[in-house]
Structure 1
Amino acid sequence: MMISRASLARWYRNRFLWVAVILAVTGGAVVLFRATGPDAQPADLQGQIVARMRTTLEQSNPEQHQHAGHTAQQATTGEQAKPAVICGVRVYGHEPAGATTLAEVRTVYGFHLCGVAGQGYPWDVAVKLAGPVILDMSTEPVGIRVVEATADTKFVDRLREMFPPKYAEVALKEALSDSEMADLRRRYDAAAGL
């Protein structure tokens, strides 16, 4: 079989083209895998703040949320296992407002709804920790302050004392989005073994 120089040149050109396509596709797949892997960090600042807020609240003890009068259910097994805290969050804003990286964020204002997921405890009977919350990101561990009424101050007045006006107004009207609530319930049921 005789191969012409033109055919040979075309074959070499196509071979390099196919190698470039394969490299581009596999490189894209590697980038896509890294961006969607289990430890992936959201690319946008808002997503990073939400992830940090949720992680901070879920890794803290219910007592660290500073809610008065709540105690967590104890596991019914022979050992005293710590029940998981599963949280849904909504960020109202952060300071400084002009921050462009998570490292620059000092304070986060938002809302949290957490369920203490003791094994076999359905959502409806779980201890819940909820309300407007402030995270002090400048400390380690992150400081958590919830807005609660005191003996001397009503809840709304306390909220306005603790939150800047633009975030306080949002906090009086909005809690979790429907999608965040659905995700919270799904993760709670999984943690509670339901």
Structure 2
Amino acid sequence: MISWESFAGWYRNRLVWVAVILLVVSVGVVVLVNRAGPEAEPADLQGQIVARMRTTLEQADPGQHNHAGHGVQQATTEEKPAVICGVRVYGHEPAEVTVLADVQKVYGFHLCGVAEQKRPWDVAVKLAGPVIMDMSTRPPGIQVVESTADVMFVDRLREMFPDKYAELALKEALADSEVADLRRRYDAAAGL
């Protein structure tokens, strides 16, 4: 016959093991959830800036990119086509900050395609060029560099960008890996 003390001890040990197993499984799930998914926030500041810049540009109406002369042909439905962007960050101000919340301005380049259904990339409406994002406003402000009737593009770029970022903007656009990712995401959004 089993005594009450031995049964209680066995039962108590079993509850302890169940609690330990549940704790280990819970911690494992939390770790997997925090590591998984494209929505996970990048750990480094540069990655966070790229993600915020891309998201801001993709959520903005193409007119908010301040490009002149770009009209998107709307289909018969009221649904607006997705804007898919690739970005490159040249730098940010203040340059010494290490937390995204402290970044005031971002200087970079953007190439966006308006993903109208079944419209291939080669004939898509595109928005491209050096861009400044004002991160101190919600949503961030978007200002692109464009020439005017009185000011040439290079002169306008030098007016708007600090020298160290203007030099980069005159030489560099998107990295090949960013272009490949942009085209893949565009094709998916356009249903190609």
TM-score bucket of the superposed structures, by smaller chain: 0.7 to 0.9
TM-score of the two chains, using structure 1 as the length reference: 0.84
2:79 match: 81
Gaps of 5+ in 2: 1-16
Rounded to whole Å, the distance in 1 between the matches of 2:112 and 2:73 is: 14
CA RMSD of aligned residues (A): 2.0
**Alignment coverage as a number of residue pairs:** 175
How far off its partner does 1:79 sit?
1.7
The 3-state SS of whatever aligns with 1:93 is: strand
| Aligned residue runs from structure 1 range 41-190, under 5 A | 41-75=41-75, 78-190=76-188
SS of structure 2 residue aligned to 1:152: coil
> Which deviates more, 139-148 or 51-60?
139-148
Quote how far apart the aligned CAs of 1:57 are. 0.2
**Which one-letter code corresponds to 1:99 in the other structure?**
V
What is the Cα deviation at residue 35 of structure 1? 1.9
The 3-state SS of whatever aligns with 2:74 is coil
Greater mean deviation of Cα atoms: 126-135 or 33-42: 33-42
SS of the residue aligned with 1:172? helix
* Distance in 1 (alpha carbons) for counterparts of 2:190 and 2:145: 27
Q: Distance in 2 between matches of 1:52 and 1:71?
A: 25
CA distance in 2, matches of 1:118, 1:112: 19
Shift of 1:141: 1.9
Amino acid at match of 1:110: G
Report the Cα distance in structure 2 between the residues aligned to 1:159 and 1:73, rounded to whole angstroms. 30
Q: What does the per-residue CA deviation read over 1:39-66, in whole Å, with 9 as the maximum and x for residues that have no partner?
A: 2100000000000000000000110000
Gaps of 5+ in 1: 1-15
Cα distance in structure 2, aligned partners of 1:36 and 1:159 = 39
Question: Following TM superposition, by how much is the alpha carbon of 1:36 offset from its aligned partner in structure 2, in angstroms?
Answer: 2.4
